Amino acid sequence: MSNNLFEAVLNPTWKTLSNEMKEVVIQNVLRHFVNPILEVTKITPVSYHFGGIKTDTFEIVIDGIEYVFVPGQKKCILGWDRGLSGLSGLDCSEERQELRYALKRYCNQQLTSSLLTEEGFLNQDFSHIRLTTEYIDEKINRSTSPLREVNIPALLVEKKPQYVGMKYIGQYNVVSGQLMSHENQTDNLLERIHSLLVPEGQNHYFLQDYPTVARKAPLLIQQNHLNPDIFNCYVDDAISYSDVKREVERHGFGLLNEDEWEYCCGASCRRLFKWGNQLKRQLFQHSISPLWKENMFGLLIANAEFGPELIDDEHYTKGGWLEETHKAPIINLLPLSSYYRGEGIEDKEKELTPGYYCVRKVMRVDSNG
């Protein structure tokens, strides 16, 4: 492999290449790094602009799964350590009632950890603690990774993570009452899906106000963001961390490590969240919120739809579910920080709670690949 290729896939060189040369580089990357038994069916040039950062890159479909090319970077600065400019008193304030109400409404309508574990979340009592900016700043610092300088290789990263321990079985159309699936269907399965959408005692009618998500083990159904008449359906298929890792590592893929995950999330910008340090009033307005948008690399990462993401280190997870655990909204939103360190996996061989964690594949484009 030419050293010129490894230089071309790193910023700032990647940014200086013409669109034609970028495509040549990507074709070479796919030729040398993707296992030939895997089928590459689509290569699409795309441009993303998020948080003041613009990236021209490619989305690539490999064996039916969508990946994004993330250019690498040498001497990346990662970790929080109070950031470059710190946090404002307003963003740390517990008086942000509009955000507290929005989060409570969100947790009542969307998929959360308590729904998956079927356990109520115990709200902690912080009434005895004076939530000063200094206290919150220190709490955030203890919950995030330390400041460090690292080299990040170019990466082919799965665009959207997948639920761990849950098998996707198809899409249910509430208008037709049919499950669009390649799996063998039974009347019992359709009845269970229908009972989740229309609980016993309620009448079904055309303009039914369906829940956005419903769970009753072993079934999970979730409304499709693009079409409210469609629900994505999953069934439990429990698996351990070790088994997840072995499955992901087939055909040259792997899990992101902590450094790679943080870079893929926030692009080494030293901001607490991928969009910045500010908590704006519209944060939970789905159509304009950064919580659900693709980031500067085109990845759906650290968003509100998924729980903790497994990485190539069982001691930590990245990202996490949103829960109303604290009076200060910024603490409740901390699992979506680019640098947040979630609890790790205590037993790598124990089956994980279905759907609680998520995982995404990565292929590294470096001289060791």
Residues 212 and 276 in one domain: no
Range of the domain at 173: 166-236
Residue 82 lies in a domain: yes
The pLDDT value given to residue 206: 46
In the prediction, which pLDDT does 122 show? Answer: 43
Q: How far apart are alpha carbons 105 and 324 in whole angstroms? A: 10
Is residue 323 assigned to a domain? yes
If residue 364 lies in a helix (H) or strand (E), which one and from where to where?
Answer: strand 362-365
pLDDT of residue 167: 92
Specify whether 139 is located in the same domain as 189.
no
Residue 199 maps to a domain: yes
Indicate whether 143 and 274 sit together in one domain: yes
Residue 60 domain flag: no
Same domain (yes/no): 189, 135: no
Nearest to 158 by CA among 313, 21, 306, 362: 362
Q: Are residues 277 and 271 in contact, defined by beta-carbon separation less than 8 angstroms?
A: yes
Same domain, 212 and 355: no
Is 176 inside any structural domain?
A: yes
Return the residue matching tokens 């992101």.
Answer: 256
User: Is 367 a domain residue?
Assistant: no
In this structure, are 331 and 289 located in the same domain?
Answer: yes
Alpha-carbon Rg for the chain in angstroms? 21
How high is the pLDDT of residue 203? Answer: 55
> In this predicted structure, what is the pLDDT of residue 286?
77
Tell whether 256 is covered by a domain: no
Q: Are 296 and 267 in contact (CB under 8 A)?
A: yes
Low-confidence residues in the chain, pLDDT < 50: 120-122, 205-207
Statement to judge: residues 272 and 146 lie in one domain: yes
- What six digits make up the tokens of 309? 């993401």
Burial of 197 (0-12, 13-18, 19+ CB in 10 A): middle
Total length of the chain:
369
pLDDT at 96: 86
Q: Identify the pLDDT of residue 119.
A: 55
**Domain for residue 12, yes or no?**
no
How many structural domains is the chain composed of? 2
Instruction: Please count the helices (runs of H) and the strands (runs of E) in the chain.
Output: 11, 18
Q: Are residues 139 and 268 in the same domain?
A: yes
Largest CA distance in the chain: 67
From CA 174, how far away is CA 196, in angstroms rounded? Answer: 12
pLDDT computed for residue 202 by the predictor: 54
268 shares its domain with 325: yes
Position 155 scores a pLDDT of 98
What's the pLDDT at 330?
92
My answer on whether 231 and 176 are in the same domain is yes
What is the pLDDT at residue 69? 98
**Does one domain contain both 107 and 179?**
no
pLDDT tens, residue by residue, 279-325: 988 888 878 889 889 999 999 999 888 899 999 999 999 999 988 88
Indicate if 277 and 131 belong to the same structural domain. yes
The pLDDT value given to residue 369:
57
List pLDDT tens digits, range 19-40.
999 999 999 999 999 999 999 9
Residue of 5, 157, 154, 155 whose CA lies nearest to 74: 154
Q: List the structure tokens of 106.
A: 């969100």
